[in-house]
A = this chain, B = another copy of it.
Protein backbone atom coordinates (compact mmCIF):
# COMPACT_ATOMS: atom_id res chain seq x y z
CA UNK A 1 0.00 0.00 0.00
CA UNK A 2 1.15 3.50 -0.65
CA UNK A 3 -0.02 7.09 -0.71
CA UNK A 4 -2.75 7.83 -3.20
CA UNK A 5 -2.81 4.22 -4.26
CA UNK A 6 -5.25 1.47 -3.73
CA UNK A 7 -4.95 -0.75 -0.68
CA UNK A 8 -5.55 -4.16 -2.11
CA UNK A 9 -3.83 -6.26 0.50
CA UNK A 10 -2.91 -6.09 4.17
CA UNK A 11 -0.22 -8.69 3.81
CA UNK A 12 2.74 -6.66 2.62
CA UNK A 13 4.11 -4.38 5.29
CA UNK A 14 6.93 -2.91 3.21
CA UNK A 15 6.51 0.77 2.54
CA UNK A 16 6.27 1.47 -1.18
CA UNK A 17 7.17 4.75 -2.88
CA UNK A 18 4.38 7.32 -2.61
CA UNK A 19 2.27 7.83 -5.71
CA UNK A 20 3.19 10.60 -8.11
CA UNK A 21 -0.12 12.31 -7.32
CA UNK A 22 0.90 12.51 -3.68
CA UNK A 23 4.36 13.89 -4.44
CA UNK A 24 2.86 16.60 -6.65
CA UNK A 25 0.34 17.52 -3.98
CA UNK A 26 2.87 17.65 -1.19
CA UNK A 27 5.22 19.86 -3.17
CA UNK A 28 2.36 22.21 -3.94
CA UNK A 29 1.30 22.27 -0.27
CA UNK A 30 4.84 23.20 0.66
CA UNK A 31 5.11 25.88 -2.02
CA UNK A 32 1.79 27.36 -1.00
CA UNK A 33 2.66 27.50 2.69
CA UNK A 34 5.94 29.23 1.91
CA UNK A 35 4.32 31.64 -0.56
CA UNK A 36 1.48 32.51 1.83
CA UNK A 37 4.09 33.31 4.43
CA UNK A 38 6.13 35.46 2.07
CA UNK A 39 3.08 37.25 0.66
CA UNK A 40 1.47 37.95 4.05
CA UNK A 41 2.75 41.53 4.27
CA UNK A 42 1.26 42.14 0.82
CA UNK A 43 -2.18 41.12 2.10
CA UNK A 44 -2.79 38.65 -0.72
CA UNK A 45 -2.99 34.88 -0.77
CA UNK A 46 -1.01 32.64 -3.09
CA UNK A 47 -4.03 32.17 -5.31
CA UNK A 48 -4.66 35.90 -5.52
CA UNK A 49 -1.02 36.56 -6.34
CA UNK A 50 -1.13 33.90 -9.04
CA UNK A 51 -4.17 35.57 -10.58
CA UNK A 52 -2.25 38.86 -10.65
CA UNK A 53 0.66 37.24 -12.51
CA UNK A 54 -1.77 35.82 -15.06
CA UNK A 55 -3.30 39.27 -15.60
CA UNK A 56 0.19 40.75 -15.96
CA UNK A 57 0.87 38.43 -18.84
CA UNK A 58 -2.60 38.41 -20.35
CA UNK A 59 -4.23 41.81 -19.86
CA UNK A 60 -7.92 41.74 -20.66
CA UNK A 61 -8.46 38.25 -19.29
CA UNK A 62 -12.02 37.70 -18.10
CA UNK A 63 -13.17 36.10 -14.89
CA UNK A 64 -14.39 33.10 -16.90
CA UNK A 65 -10.93 32.75 -18.45
CA UNK A 66 -9.35 32.66 -14.99
CA UNK A 67 -11.83 29.97 -13.98
CA UNK A 68 -10.76 27.80 -16.91
CA UNK A 69 -7.09 28.32 -16.14
CA UNK A 70 -7.62 27.18 -12.55
CA UNK A 71 -10.04 24.35 -13.37
CA UNK A 72 -12.74 25.69 -11.06
CA UNK A 73 -16.17 27.20 -11.48
CA UNK A 74 -16.94 30.76 -12.50
CA UNK A 75 -18.44 31.37 -9.07
CA UNK A 76 -15.23 30.50 -7.21
CA UNK A 77 -13.25 32.83 -9.44
CA UNK A 78 -15.83 35.56 -8.95
CA UNK A 79 -15.05 35.49 -5.22
CA UNK A 80 -11.34 35.67 -5.96
CA UNK A 81 -11.74 38.60 -8.34
CA UNK A 82 -14.07 40.34 -5.91
CA UNK A 83 -11.33 40.26 -3.29
CA UNK A 84 -8.80 41.73 -5.70
CA UNK A 85 -11.25 44.46 -6.73
CA UNK A 86 -11.89 45.37 -3.11
CA UNK A 87 -8.15 45.63 -2.50
CA UNK A 88 -7.84 47.86 -5.55
CA UNK A 89 -5.34 45.56 -7.28
CA UNK A 90 -7.42 44.96 -10.41
CA UNK A 91 -10.10 46.85 -12.31
CA UNK A 92 -12.78 45.89 -14.80
CA UNK A 93 -13.90 47.37 -18.07
CA UNK A 94 -16.73 46.21 -20.33
CA UNK A 95 -15.62 44.45 -23.49
CA UNK A 96 -16.55 46.77 -26.39
CA UNK A 97 -17.08 43.79 -28.70
CA UNK A 98 -19.16 41.72 -26.29
CA UNK A 99 -21.14 43.76 -23.80
CA UNK A 100 -21.67 40.84 -21.44
CA UNK A 101 -17.99 40.36 -20.76
CA UNK A 102 -15.89 42.24 -18.22
CA UNK A 103 -12.20 42.52 -19.04
CA UNK A 104 -9.85 42.47 -16.08
CA UNK A 105 -6.66 44.48 -15.81
CA UNK A 106 -4.10 45.26 -13.17
CA UNK A 107 -4.25 48.65 -11.50
CA UNK A 108 -1.07 50.57 -10.77
CA UNK A 109 -1.22 49.18 -7.24
CA UNK A 110 -1.47 45.66 -8.67
CA UNK A 111 1.55 46.22 -10.90
CA UNK A 112 3.51 47.70 -8.00
CA UNK A 113 2.71 44.66 -5.87
CA UNK A 114 4.11 42.35 -8.54
CA UNK A 115 7.23 44.47 -8.90
CA UNK A 116 7.71 44.53 -5.14
CA UNK A 117 7.18 40.82 -4.53
CA UNK A 118 8.55 39.34 -7.73
CA UNK A 119 12.08 39.03 -6.34
CA UNK A 120 11.08 37.14 -3.20
CA UNK A 121 8.92 34.78 -5.25
CA UNK A 122 11.82 34.23 -7.64
CA UNK A 123 14.03 33.54 -4.63
CA UNK A 124 11.58 30.87 -3.46
CA UNK A 125 11.66 29.19 -6.88
CA UNK A 126 15.45 29.36 -6.82
CA UNK A 127 15.47 27.77 -3.37
CA UNK A 128 13.22 24.99 -4.64
CA UNK A 129 15.63 24.32 -7.52
CA UNK A 130 18.80 24.73 -5.48
CA UNK A 131 19.67 21.05 -5.81
CA UNK A 132 18.82 20.82 -9.53
CA UNK A 133 21.10 21.45 -12.50
CA UNK A 134 19.97 23.70 -15.33
CA UNK A 135 19.23 20.63 -17.41
CA UNK A 136 17.18 19.09 -14.62
CA UNK A 137 15.12 22.26 -14.20
CA UNK A 138 14.26 22.13 -17.87
CA UNK A 139 13.43 18.45 -17.61
CA UNK A 140 11.16 19.09 -14.62
CA UNK A 141 9.33 21.83 -16.48
CA UNK A 142 8.94 19.61 -19.52
CA UNK A 143 7.67 16.61 -17.54
CA UNK A 144 5.19 18.68 -15.53
CA UNK A 145 3.92 20.34 -18.70
CA UNK A 146 3.41 17.02 -20.43
CA UNK A 147 1.66 15.58 -17.38
CA UNK A 148 -0.66 18.57 -17.35
CA UNK A 149 -1.38 18.15 -21.03
CA UNK A 150 -2.28 14.49 -20.58
CA UNK A 151 -4.80 15.37 -17.87
CA UNK A 152 -6.21 18.50 -19.44
CA UNK A 153 -9.81 18.00 -20.51
CA UNK A 154 -9.79 17.77 -24.28
CA UNK A 155 -11.67 20.97 -25.05
Contact = CB atoms under 8 A, between A and B. Distances in A.
Interface residues of A, number: 69
B139 A139 contact: yes
Contact of A27 (B2, B8, B24, B111): B24
Nearest to A146: B131
A69 interface: yes
Contacts of A131: 146-147, 149-150
A147 B128 contact: yes
A29 B140 contact: no
A20 B125 contact: yes
A144 interface: yes
A74 interface: no
A103 interface: no
Interface of A: 1-8, 15, 17, 19-35, 46, 49-50, 53-54, 56-57, 69-72, 111, 114-115, 117-119, 121-122, 124-125, 127-132, 136-137, 139-141, 143-152
Closest 3 CB pairs of A and B: A6-B118, A28-B28, A33-B71
13 contacts: A3-B57, A4-B50, A7-B114, A21-B125, A24-B24, A24-B28, A27-B148, A29-B72, A30-B148, A30-B151, A136-B143, A139-B143, A140-B144
